[in-house]
């Protein structure tokens, strides 16, 4: 039985993450991708840590917390952020929002094979509708694959979605003793331990200019702590088939924001994809 509170978490997650990609794309006019990802993790660690201090809930992790923290920190925050921030420099923001959130490719079969989750016929139908919406929205036939970095960017996004799916599986297989909120600052620091060396190695002359300061503040101070917590909890509490279909709402939001703010084109394919993904979410939540 799906709980309304868990579905609300899912809505918060997809709204924040869907809107984050156009902001990140705009930030790259005055920031380099990996250093922007570093700011996201470090600000996320600072803000989530301060919130826990105020709530008097900042505790050192217990041994039972480490599997989930390593999964979230190294895979979802380190690997996912590195790949997606590099890819958004190569791929339009709307397309990045689509492919980065397609955990459905990985999460449904992994939930069945690794967690023994039973998926009803209705949720298989929801997955099929969602994938059809993604195919229409991504529109691989409309991409000029000869552009430098276009294929590599798409491969990065599919691998990023795989890392995110693995992190969800780990948190469900090995639930932490403390809440995910209480482990979040440490998870962000683990993500930073991956991103800082990568940024120093690959972007030695990079950084964040004044024009991207407000973007970094919004992404690192709000989207990173709140959105990451909501994403982790939604993925952990909801069945894999529901969570993965629900995450497909993020691309729809990302495409809408990219269209309104960045002027990326919208056409009947976007409308059709939105309808298919919306239908998939309705079918998934009804079982």
Of residues 150 and 174, more confidently modeled = 174
Tell me the mean pLDDT in the region 38-59: 94
Residue 190 has pLDDT above 70, yes or no: yes
- Which pLDDT score is estimated for 112? 82
pTM score: 0.80
Residue identified by tokens 């105020």 is 54
Q: How many domains does the chain have?
A: 1
Give the highest mean pLDDT range of 8-12, 146-150, 175-179, 233-237.
175-179
CA distances from 188 to 121, 137, 154, 158, 192 (A): 37, 31, 25, 22, 6
- Which pLDDT score is estimated for 238? 81
Closest by CA to 89, choosing from 139, 153, 19, 174, is: 153
Cα–Cα distance for residue pair 283/2, rounded to 1 Å: 13
Give the highest mean pLDDT range of 27-31, 116-120, 262-266.
27-31
- Which pLDDT score is estimated for 129? 80
Q: Which residues neighbour 239 within 8 Å (Cβ) at sequence distance 6 or greater?
A: 111, 117, 119, 123
Residue identified by tokens 């972007």 is 203
Give the highest mean pLDDT range of 12-26, 126-140, 193-207, 266-280.
193-207
Least confident of 29-33, 103-107, 180-184: 103-107
User: On the CB side of 213, how many CA atoms lie within 13 Å of its CA?
Assistant: 3
Residue 6 has pLDDT above 90, yes or no: no
Range of the domain at 148: 4-286
């Amino acid at each position: 039985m799906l709980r309304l509170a868990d579905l609300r978490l899912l809505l918060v997650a997809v709204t924040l993450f869907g809107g984050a990609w156009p902001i990140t794309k705009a930030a790259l006019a005055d920031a380099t991708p990996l250093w922007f990802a570093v700011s996201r993790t470090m600000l996320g660690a600072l803000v989530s840590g301060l919130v826990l201090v105020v709530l008097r809930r900042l505790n050192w992790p217990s041994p039972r917390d480490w599997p989930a923290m390593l999964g979230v920190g190294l895979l979802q925050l380190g690997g996912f952020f590195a790949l997606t921030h590099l890819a958004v420099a190569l791929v339009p923001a709307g397309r990045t929002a689509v492919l980065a959130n397609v955990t459905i490719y990985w999460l449904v079969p992994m939930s069945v094979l690794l967690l023994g989750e039973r998926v009803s016929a209705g949720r298989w139908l929801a997955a099929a509708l969602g994938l059809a919406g993604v195919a229409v929205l991504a529109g691989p036939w409309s991409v000029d694959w000869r552009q430098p970095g276009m294929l590599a960017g798409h491969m990065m996004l599919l691998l990023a979605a795989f890392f995110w799916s693995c992190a969800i599986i780990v948190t469900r297989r090995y639930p932490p003793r403390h809440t995910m909120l209480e482990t979040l600052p440490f998870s962000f620091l683990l993500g930073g331990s991956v991103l800082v060396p990568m940024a120093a190695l690959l972007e030695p002359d990079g950084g964040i200019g004044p024009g991207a300061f407000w973007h970094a503040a919004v992404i690192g101070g709000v989207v990173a702590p709140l959105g990451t917590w909501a994403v982790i909890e939604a993925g952990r509490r909801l069945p894999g088939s529901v969570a993965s279909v629900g995450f497909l709402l993020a691309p729809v939001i990302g495409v809408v924001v990219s269209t309104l703010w960045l002027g990326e084109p919208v056409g009947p394919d976007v409308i059709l994809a939105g309808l298919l993904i919306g239908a998939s979410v309705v079918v998934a939540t009804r079982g």
